[in-house]
Amino acid sequence: MKYFFMATALLLLVSAKSGTSQEYKPALTSQFTNAGSEWETLFDGSGTEKWRSKNGDKFPDTGWRIENGLLFLESKGGGDIMTRKKYGNFELVFEFKLTNEANSGIKYFVDTVVNRETGAIMINGPEYQIIDDYNNEHVKEEPHGVSSTGALYLLYAPENKTLNPPGEWNTGKILSQNGNVEHWLNGVKVVSYVRGSDDFNSRKSTTKFKNDIGYGIKATGHIMLTDHNDKVYFKGIKIKKL
């Protein structure tokens, strides 16, 4: 009988925990991935059919180049490129290798935003910053600031990060689910925030994006690789819907 009551108590404890486990928890890790979804390859080392110019329906004829299975900006004139499809809840993974002083970035939830003061229309979204923290003159004095690699550019600085220097590969990941977003760098979570939260809006209000209606709060958007006239190598770009 004693064992029966112990088993019953254990069952009730497990049931109670199961009931609370359904609550949504802002802290995302890869274990929150939808096991039923499949990875979609955005760049497999050869084709660019998943991408187009920010300013047109075709992939740029100049600027961007594929060589030895790597995608990179070879010269000026390529412009930003973005996925043809839009994504909402997702896990995006990628690898990148910096060159000396290089600056780049991956934007997400990219769509049309309007400046409330000027009425100017632009295509933009939050940015996972990618830059040579060691040598670029804009960040080398503050290599863990809001403009450094892994940051949500100008809003959230990365924490506990380790960036491999130019010439070495780094892994990156962006997790987005129900407004909660995380940036990962080389296997470590470095940024966590909630899109459209009071904290997000407060930080945004101090940046050049303060008047951009819709910035960072779109339900879905494109993934974008930015053109800063610098050479950064990319490979293994994949995305999974959550």
Strand 188-194 with 51-53, pairing: unpaired
Output DSSP code: residue 227: -
If one looks up domain 34-241 in CATH, what number appears? 2.60.120.560
Q: How far, in Å, CA of 145 to CA of 91, rounded?
A: 24
Strand-pairing partners, residue 70, are: 67
Find out whether 83 and 42 touch, Cβ atoms under 8 Å: yes
User: What does the domain layout of the chain look like in residue ranges?
Assistant: 34-241
pLDDT in tens, the chain (242 residues): 433 333 433 333 333 333 333 333 344 444 444 544 799 999 989 999 999 999 999 999 999 999 999 999 998 889 999 999 999 999 999 999 999 999 999 999 999 999 999 999 999 999 999 999 999 999 999 999 999 999 999 999 999 999 999 999 999 999 999 999 999 999 999 999 999 999 999 999 999 999 999 999 999 999 999 999 999 999 999 999 99
Q: How far, in Å, CA of 149 to CA of 163, rounded?
A: 8
pTM for this predicted structure? 0.86
Find out whether 233 and 70 touch, Cβ atoms under 8 Å: yes
Find out whether 82 and 54 touch, Cβ atoms under 8 Å: yes
